[in-house]
Amino acid sequence: MFLEILLKILPLFLGILVGFICSYWNRFRNAEPAISAFVFFIALPCLLFFLTAKADLSRGIPGAVLASILVGTLVYWSLIGLVFWLTNGRNLNIALSSSMGGAFGNVAYLGIPVVMGVLGPAGYLPAIIIQLVHNVIFMVGYPLIHGVMSPQGSGSKVRQFGRALRDSLLKNPIMWAVLLGFVVNFVGWPQDGPIMEFADLMSAAASPAALFAVGLGLRPSFQAIRGGQLKILPVGFATVAKLVILPAITFLALLTVGQSLFTMNGGKEWIFAILIMAGMPTAGTAFVLATAAKGDSNLVAATILGTNILAALTLPLLATLALSQ
């Protein structure tokens, strides 16, 4: 089973590799922002809208799914943040940025293609919902924690939280695409016609463009590592924590607050998607946030590279274990 899953996932990492190689070609050297914008604002929202509109919602979304993700992710994030805080002279910026590097996975650009590639149509809804929850946790949680823990006044904290909420939810095309897909699904909108055909057409570009953009985005991380001194131990800890410890803690969360998923009809797909999303390599967004917050961007950059390289082996192994549950 491991080899079968590896062969399914390997083409996705080849797409990332091609993107990384092309990042050194002058034609693509400055292409990553435009391609990522196309994926984030056009192709990926179309894919999520199309799949949500066509999804079978008769069984709903189990509450155990949300509970397992929240408990597993927040417990892990708190623990890894505490480790980095204690080992970096209780420097909040470094602790927050480093913990983001060891926690914020690439659940949208890579997670969705992996889950859908292994599970097929049965994985569409789990992939959509779980990536959404992960992104909300980190894209809202990081600015919120940074604002609350900063020495600024309460008014500034309120404004910072409001800005994070607005940017992460109200101005997020992925969020609106999923919500619109649910509306279309509930009202029984016709599953054919120009709107759905357009969404289907754009959806086809989402996965290849996203993977290519991930590869292009690795080059700045590589350059950041070469430009500064790097401590191997913290990078190794963050890399192993992201690929191994987070899935392990998430599995413990499933055993405690998500037990119903092991016996319910269709629960196996949800369990698989939850564990795979937890084992995703670090997203490039973590480097952007670390740089903006004046954290340890070199450590985060190295974690991004390390997790993306090792995930080519850890994800098939994790998928094999998850399917055996």
Alpha helices in 102-193 (DSSP H): 112-119, 124-149, 154-165, 173-187
- Give the span between the Cα atoms of 28 and 212, in whole angstroms: 11
pLDDT tens-digit profile of 278-293? 999 999 888 887 877 7
Question: Which residue numbers in the chain have pLDDT < 50?
Answer: 153
If one counts every other C-beta atom within 10 angstroms of the C-beta of residue 22, the result is 17
Give the E-state strand segments of the chain in sequence order: none
For the chain, list the domains and their CATH numbers: 2-19+34-323 (1.20.1530)
Looking at residue 141, its pLDDT comes to 79
| pTM listed for this prediction | 0.91
